[in-house]
Structure 1
């Protein structure tokens, strides 16, 4: 039920935030985090079972984030014609369908079939993120839009840690690493062993399906506010903006274009660091196995979680751009350490850099969406921001290629370091713009 004193304003925002609906909406964020973090497990598992290059193993992320890219605009059009709630329910149904494809994939035992299952999951997650990110920013007063999205994103690490733990105990097994075990096998033995290992990849998705069905039922039974601008709902309103008109409008918005590029590189940077952290630990310490190495991803997501709270606290005292400019400087230094220091401390630096990732996505998303002043373009603008997640498909593949070319996984971490440098310049530019605006406002007040 929605409280009767809840009022939707003409711009689609609400006079206050309905708490139960906001919590339920925020629970979607760990759901896609589980799937994303399981990819980090799958990359390590598939690398040895299918005998892949680093570039080929990174195609797990290409399939995953490529699905986001392709579905974002269709999802936004569905949401535009229906409601955010309908988009979320559609996403959950696709997510469930994608998880069930791991049953035939584990039996067919082909890399292509696994990529198809991962791609199918991503279709559902594209609907979920397109709806939930924009909806979270709008389901309450406008002035708290960025804070609300940051709070929702705080749930993300819970899902990410859960995904790694599911992979650690259900996918990875005890004993020596896969590479060490398979090195002493005949081709026939290695093939049989690989088939056995692939059966374990199904296990986490069995549990995920049950959770998804429960969340789906709760969304079907709960009433949600529309949070659509009044012009969209008015029968006398002008015809809704077409896809071409919206793309043309957004293409002319310089601030929006900068936000898209920053989001593309940020997501690519985050995904590639997490994709190769387990592999980095195994390379730097061949005596550990995948289960032990996966602990570093658990630590990474804990750092990510803590970093979000620290950032939320700092952003109540300083502007988000100032906080994230400092984060980017520290992050760039840590990434250089990861790439250039040839011992296990580099892995701990990779863990530490996760603390700096937390606030970037929701802040770039909310601030970039805010520069779209014409709210009839909001859904598509949000979809294009979600499409920028395709950085997660591109940058890991670039790093994998760099690793293959230079024969050094560690040196390839210079790729995400370059991304962090760009993100730092982006936030530094935003900080300068904010100072200029504040200066002009103070000057206007002084003259008045």
Structure 2
């Protein structure tokens, strides 16, 4: 029994959802959405200021999501040794430290220092995501685990939109595009201009730090249930090595990891290059082009609501198979269209991203036995490293074949996501048939 009269089962799930704790936990999702969206702004800003290739500018995402990959397992160990709440407190503290690192980075004015600050933020976010995704699914009955995580994930685009707006008005400036302005300057003027533009990059992080401090205080003083699997008397929790060995033999789990790797990579890649696509296909400046990212996140938000409704009427697998097929058609159009309509379709494809992460995460976690939950959740979060790889691949393809054709990378990724959900649907149908035969 816990303070709010909810009862925890042996599998760690609660008999009912503590509303305030669930809402506060869900408020973490827009916090990392804001940081991730600011990366899309930084990619565009750094490409012009540091005169980078598309591949080099995509290293912003590599630094960011590489941090997730390296820290997810240590974060799971913290959860195993202490609690989900402690991992969240550590994550918020490290997030604050990473935001503060933008201050020396803006004065040192080197791309490497900015990447280090972005990596530091990612370390904190890795703790937050490793804890919050699994925790959200467990704060209530197991039968509604996927729905709860989808509800929490619905908060994500709110933070993403906030991040884009902060970048649009605090980082991007009025006037011609950065490249157009710098083309008319002398080398000395360019140097001064670059320093001025880099100073703008720290402004959003000032506001984020204050919000993080408030959220950190709320978590410190709010009581949370453990949501830990109850060990049988005399039994020991499996070690990391034992868990990884078990997971390596779980075929459905491994397919889920690959699907999550490609899905996250695809989503981040599309968002990373939407602003660049708009700039290349028109003569607008960065501030105007950032509007298309705002529209993208609105579509993402709408897509989540539509999916939540559809998944009350149809199986999640069928919904995601349909989303994947439509998404592939959209991405093919972006690659082949000859006019600005490609940008609008790049915005529209975000409708189809909405339910993917939460559905893959919850479904993949459900394939493992209860005693492996904490580490399995961390391994799924590690799949976010796809966002460090796929955008870099797309950036390389864009440098060689052009920005539009590079969206075919995402076409292939969505194809595998659809294949994964098709396999999951068939697997569940087979289980139902076997169960009916036995009865």
CA distance in structure 1 between the partners assigned to 2:298 and 2:4 by the alignment: 39
Tell me the CA shift for residue 376 of structure 1. Answer: 1.5
Verify: 1:387 aligned to 2:406, yes or no: no
Tell me the CA shift for residue 439 of structure 1. Answer: 2.8
Tell me the CA shift for residue 11 of structure 1. Answer: 0.6
CA distance in structure 1 between the partners assigned to 2:183 and 2:363 by the alignment: 51
Equivalent residue, structure 1, for 2:397: 402
Verify: 1:427 aligned to 2:421, yes or no: yes
Structure 2 regions of 5+ residues with no counterpart?
none
Equivalent in 351, 355, 358 of residue 359 of structure 1:
355
Equivalent residue, structure 2, for 1:303: 299
Deviation by residue 1:73-92 (Cα, 9 ceiling, x = unmatched):
00000110000000000000
Equivalent residue, structure 2, for 1:127: 127
Deviation by residue 1:261-281 (Cα, 9 ceiling, x = unmatched):
000000000000000000000
CA distance in structure 1 between the partners assigned to 2:155 and 2:234 by the alignment: 38
Aligned pairs, number: 439
1:161-176 equivalences under 5 Å are 161-176=161-176
1:44-443 equivalences under 5 Å are 44-231=44-231, 236-285=233-282, 287-373=283-369, 375-406=370-401, 408-443=402-437
TM-score (norm 2): 0.99
CA distance in structure 1 between the partners assigned to 2:335 and 2:437 by the alignment: 47
SS of alignment partner, residue 230 of structure 1: coil
* Residues 4 and 18 in structure 2, CA contact (< 8 A), matched pair in contact too: no
Tell me the CA shift for residue 4 of structure 1. Answer: 4.6
TM-score (norm 1): 0.97
SS of alignment partner, residue 129 of structure 2: helix
CA distance in structure 1 between the partners assigned to 2:4 and 2:357 by the alignment: 33
Structure 1 regions of 5+ residues with no counterpart?
none
CA distance in structure 1 between the partners assigned to 2:433 and 2:307 by the alignment: 25
Distance 1:2-1:181 versus aligned 2 partners, 3 A rule: farther
Deviation by residue 1:232-272 (Cα, 9 ceiling, x = unmatched):
xx6x4322211111100000000000000000000000000
CA distance in structure 2 between the partners assigned to 1:3 and 1:352 by the alignment: 44
Deviation by residue 1:39-81 (Cα, 9 ceiling, x = unmatched):
0000000000000000000000000000000000000001100
Tell me the CA shift for residue 430 of structure 1. Answer: 1.2
Deviation by residue 1:162-189 (Cα, 9 ceiling, x = unmatched):
0000000000000001011111111211
* Residues 2 and 18 in structure 1, CA contact (< 8 A), matched pair in contact too: no
* Residues 7 and 15 in structure 1, CA contact (< 8 A), matched pair in contact too: yes
Q: Which runs of 4+ in 1 moved over 2 A?
A: 1-5, 434-445
SS of alignment partner, residue 371 of structure 1: coil
SS of alignment partner, residue 223 of structure 2: coil
Tell me the CA shift for residue 343 of structure 1. Answer: 1.2
CA distance in structure 2 between the partners assigned to 1:400 and 1:89 by the alignment: 35
CA distance in structure 2 between the partners assigned to 1:241 and 1:270 by the alignment: 34
Tell me the CA shift for residue 3 of structure 1. Answer: 4.5
CA distance in structure 1 between the partners assigned to 2:6 and 2:234 by the alignment: 24
CA distance in structure 2 between the partners assigned to 1:209 and 1:288 by the alignment: 32
Tell me the CA shift for residue 442 of structure 1. Answer: 3.5
